[in-house]
Amino acid sequence: MNRIVRYGIIGIAVALSAAGCSTTSRLGQDEVLYTGVKKIAIRPDSGVELSSTVESAIKAPLSVKPNNPLYSPYIRTPLPVGLWAYNHLYTPKEKGFKYWLYRKLSKQPVLVSKVQPEIRTKYVDDVLGNYGYFDADAGYELLPRRNPKKAKISYSIRVGQPSVYMEIRYPQVQEGMARLVDSLESTSLLRVGAQYNTDTLSAERTRITNVLRNRGYYYFRPEYIDYQADTTQQKNRVDLRMRLTPGIPAPALVPYRVGRITVSLQNIRGGAPDTLHLPGQTVVYQKPLKIRPKLLAKSITMKTGDLFTVNAQNTTLSNLNKLGIFRSVNLGVTPLDSLDGKDTLNVYLSAGFDYPLEAELEMNVTSKSNSFLGPGLAFKVSNNNLFRGGEILSLRLNGNYEWETGNKNSGGAKTSLLNSYEFGLNATLNVQRLLLPRFITKGSRYPSSTSFQLGVDLMNRPKFFQLISFSGSIGYNFQTSPYSYHSLSLLKLSYNNLLHTTESFDQTMDENPAIALSFRDQFIPAMSYSYTYDRTYRRNRFFWQNTVTSAGNLLYAIWEACGQHGTKRLFNNQFSQFIKDVNEVKFYQKLGDKNNWLAYRFLVGAGYAYGNSSVMPYSEQFYIGGANSIRAFTIRSIGPGSYHPAQNDRNSYLDQTGDFKLEANVEFRFGIMGRLGGAVFLDAGNIWLLKNDPNRPGGVLKWRGFFNEIALGTGFGLRYDISYLVLRADLGIALHTPYPNPDKPGYYNISKFKDGLGFHVAIGYPF
C-alpha cells in the first residue's frame, strides 16, 4: 500500500511539474502560440435566419484545432505534453534516448501566424457570398493571455439580408439545341425570388449538361456553361444571365448517333481468334466463347443508329460488370481528332474474362465464457460462369466442434472432453437475373438474382442428441431503389430428424412436452419475405430490416380443400404451421472528425404456432445472450421471462428459448491507436413465451413486472481492424438478471461481481 501511495505522489509531482513548464520558451520574438477560439459570434441582421448548413459553413474555416485539443477549437487538455516535449526535450544531436523521446512526444506549436485569422475571415466573406449573403462582414480580435506569447482568437460575423434572383435568362444557342434548352427552363432549379446559391447554380449547370449528353451531345461538359450575375441594379437583387463559354469546341455542339459497335473478348489463357456477327455488333473473341451470344447482345443496350446517350453507355457497362464473369470492361468511342465532321461515334468494347473457379477457406476459433472452446472451418468452391451467363454454383463444406473445459459436473475434476460437433454440406446455384416472365422484370435498373439451395447438416451433442437436417429453397433477390432491397423465398422446405437421443435428453423431453414437440421429426414448409432499407448519409447510416416467415399455411389450406381434417401430415410426418416476424433497426452516428461512432440497435421479433402445430420448431424459436447479443450473459443462459432453471440442470439450455424477443443495444466505438479501437456498450433484452408452459414458470409475456424481466448488462471491449475483418474481444458486466435473486434483492441482483462477467472473442462487429 505504501508503495502505491509513493508512486501516486511521484506521478502527481511529475504531472504538476510538467504543467508548470513553459510551452513557449522556444518561440521566436514575434511568434505567438495559438490556444484556440474564445468565441465565434454570428450576428444576423433583424429578420435574417441562417440555416444550420450556413452556420456550419461559417464555422468550419474558423475552427482550427490548437495544440492538445479537448473540445476543439475551444478547450484544451490541461497537460500539453507535446508542447512541453517540443520546448524542453529538443537536442541538436540526432541520436540518443533524449532525441528518441523528443521525436516520439513533441508536437509542433500551432502559431497565430500559421492560423492566419485575417485570411480566414476573408474566406468567410466568400463563403457567405456563395449563399447569397453579399452584405456581410467578418472580423476577428486577438486576445492575449497572461503570457503575451499565447493568445486566443475571437471571431465576429455580421450577416445582412440575402440576395434573391430578380431575372433569369437562359443561354442563346444554335437552332438544333435551342428547342431542347428552352424545354429545360420549365423544370429549372433556379426560380425568380429564390435565394442566390452557388450550389444551386452548379447543380443546374450539371442538370443541363446531363440532359444534353443524353440527347446525343456526347462531348458537352458543365464548364461550357457559365453565369454572369449583376447585383448593381437593386440592393439584394441579382439579375442572372446564363451563357455558353466562348471558344467551345465544335464537336460539343453536335448531336451524335451510335455507329459501328465492336466487341473484343479475351480469355485468360488466350485461344484461336474468331469473329461473330450479332445484330448491330461485331464480336471478336478467342475460342471457346465463354458467354452466350444472346446474353451478350442483350447486355449491350447501345444500338447502331440510336442517339448516343450517356445513360445507354453506363447501362451497358453496368450490365456487363453485373454478370460477374469479367476482370475488366472498358468502353471507348471514336477519338475527337478522328471525327472529320461525321455525326456518328463508333463504339469499342473490350472485356477480359476472369477465372471461373474460385476457392475460399475460412477458419475461426470460438471461446465462450461458459467454458466452451473450439475451432471452425469452412471450405467453399464456386464456379462463377457455369452456363456461360454468370451463373454461380457454390459448394460449401463447413464443420466446427467445441470442447467443454473444466467440467464442473464431474466431481470437481478438470476434464477436456469433445462436447459437440457439426458438419454441413450446402450447394447453391445463383442466377444473375429473375427467372420470371419478361413483363415482370422489364425495366429493372438494379441487380437481381434467383437462387436455388440444397443442403444437409449433421449436429451432434454427445450428452443429448444427434440431429440431421435437410433443406432446400427457391428465392429471388432484387432491388427497387438505391436503398431498398428485397428477398423473397417462394419455397423453403426443411426436414429435421433426430437420429439418436440420450437417456438424459429423453428424460428432459418427458418432463417438458412443449420442448419435446419442438424437437419432433417434422417438415417445415415455409415462405418468407425480407425488406431491407439501407442508406448512408454524410455522417450517419440508417438500416432497417423486416422479415416475415409463414410456414405450413398454404399446405394446410390445400389439405383442408382436399377434405383432410385434423392433424395433417407430409410423407407421414406432421408438418409445422406458424407465422413469424422479426424487425431490426440499426443507426450509426459519427461523432466529430475522428473515427468515433455511436451505434444503436433495436430488435423485436415474435412467432406464433397454430393449426397443425402447438409450438414452433426448435430451430425457429428465439434465444438471447452471447457475443452478438447481451454480452454479459452467455448464449441461452437467460429467459424466457423470469424463468431460471436449477443451477445443476445440465439440460437447461434446451429450455431457454421463446416465442417473443426484445433487444436493445448502444455502443460507443472509438479509436485508440492505429488499427486498434475500443468500445463501451450497454445491452438489454429478454425472450418470452406467448403460451403458458407449466414447466417454465414466469416465462409468459405479461405487462406486470415486464421491466424487471429485462436483462441489463454493460461492458467494454477491444477491436483490431486488419482491413478485411475485425477481431473483437468483449468483457460484459451484468447489472440485472430477469430472475429474482433471494441472496441479493434490489435491482442490482448479481451475487458476486465475478459471477456477472462474460468474456467473448469474435470476428466482426456485434451489429
Provide the number of structural domains found in the chain: 4
Q: For the segment 16-39, what is each residue's pLDDT rounded down to a tens digit?
A: 344 456 788 899 888 999 999 999
Q: Is residue 16 domain-resident?
A: yes
Q: Is residue 70 domain-resident?
A: yes
- Residues 73 and 168 grouped into a single domain: no
- Residues 230 and 265 grouped into a single domain: no
Residue 410 is predicted with a pLDDT of 34
Q: For the segment 425-464, what is each residue's pLDDT rounded down to a tens digit?
A: 999 999 988 888 776 666 667 778 999 999 999 988 777 7
Q: Are 225 and 196 in contact (CB under 8 A)?
A: no
Residue 744 is predicted with a pLDDT of 87
- Residues 458 and 313 grouped into a single domain: no
Average pLDDT, the chain: 87
Residue 649 is predicted with a pLDDT of 63
The pLDDT of residue 465 is above 50: yes
User: Which of 429, 462, 495 represents a domain boundary (last residue)?
Assistant: 462
User: Which of 212, 238, 253 represents a domain boundary (last residue)?
Assistant: 253
Q: Is residue 757 domain-resident?
A: no
How confident is residue 741, by pLDDT bands cut at 50, 70 and 90? confident
- Residues 337 and 359 grouped into a single domain: no
The pLDDT of residue 414 is above 70: no
∠ CA 611-615-620 to the nearest 5 degrees? 110
Q: Are 106 and 89 in contact (CB under 8 A)?
A: yes
> Residue 147: how many CB atoms within 10 A of its CB?
13
Please state which of the ranges 140-144, 598-602, 614-618, 722-726 shows the lowest mean pLDDT.
722-726
Q: Is residue 656 domain-resident?
A: no
Average pLDDT of the segment spanning 512-519: 73
User: Which of 413, 440, 462 represents a domain boundary (last residue)?
Assistant: 462
Q: For the segment 566-624, what is each residue's pLDDT rounded down to a tens digit?
A: 788 887 788 889 999 999 999 999 887 678 899 999 999 999 999 888 888 888 999 99
Residue 364 is predicted with a pLDDT of 61
Q: For the segment 184-217, what is each residue's pLDDT rounded down to a tens digit?
A: 888 999 999 999 999 999 999 999 999 999 999 9
Residue 559 is predicted with a pLDDT of 86
Q: Is residue 520 domain-resident?
A: no
- Residues 154 and 6 grouped into a single domain: yes
Residue 443 is predicted with a pLDDT of 64
How confident is residue 753, by pLDDT bands cut at 50, 70 and 90? confident
Q: Please, which contacts does 416-420 make with residues 24 or more away whose CB atoms are closer than 8 Å?
A: 418/462, 419/372, 419/374, 419/461, 419/462, 419/463, 420/459, 420/460, 420/461, 420/462
- Residues 13 and 85 grouped into a single domain: yes
Question: At 587, which amino acid appears?
Answer: F
Residue 368 is predicted with a pLDDT of 44
How confident is residue 415, by pLDDT bands cut at 50, 70 and 90? very low
| More confident: 244 or 7 | 244
Cα-to-chain-centroid distance, residue 87: 44
- Residues 226 and 341 grouped into a single domain: no
- Residues 292 and 315 grouped into a single domain: yes
Q: Is residue 427 domain-resident?
A: yes
Average pLDDT of the segment spanning 60-78: 91
The pLDDT of residue 13 is above 70: no
- Residues 283 and 370 grouped into a single domain: no
745 CB contacts (<8 Å, ≥6 apart)? none
Residue 503 is predicted with a pLDDT of 82
Q: Are 235 and 162 in contact (CB under 8 A)?
A: no
% the chain with pLDDT above 70? 90
Q: Which three cell numbers stand for residue 106?
A: 513533441
CATH number at residue 101: 3.10.20.310
Judge if pTM exceeds 0.75: no
Q: For the segment 353-390, what is each residue's pLDDT rounded down to a tens digit?
A: 999 898 887 766 554 444 455 677 889 999 999 999 88
Q: For the segment 237-283, what is each residue's pLDDT rounded down to a tens digit?
A: 999 999 999 999 889 999 999 999 999 999 998 889 999 999 889 99
Question: At 495, which amino acid appears?
Answer: Y
Residue 374 is predicted with a pLDDT of 62
Residue 21 is predicted with a pLDDT of 66
- Residues 237 and 148 grouped into a single domain: no
Please state which of the ranges 393-407, 543-557, 651-665, 676-690 shows the lowest mean pLDDT.
393-407
443 dihedral zone (left: phi>0; alpha: psi -120 to 50; beta): left
Where is mean pLDDT largest: 93-107, 329-343, 578-592, 719-733?
Answer: 578-592
Domain residues for 393?
355-462
Residue 15 is predicted with a pLDDT of 42
DSSP 8-class letter at 709 = G
Over 501-560, what HEC string results?
A: ECHHHHHHHHHCHHHHHHHCCEEEEEEEEEEEEEEECCCEEEEEEEEEEEECHHHHHHHH
- Residues 194 and 333 grouped into a single domain: no
N-to-C CA span, the chain: 43
Average pLDDT of the segment spanning 675-703: 92
How confident is residue 149, by pLDDT bands cut at 50, 70 and 90? very high
Q: Is residue 57 domain-resident?
A: yes
Q: Is residue 599 domain-resident?
A: no
- Residues 34 and 136 grouped into a single domain: yes
The pLDDT of residue 412 is above 60: no
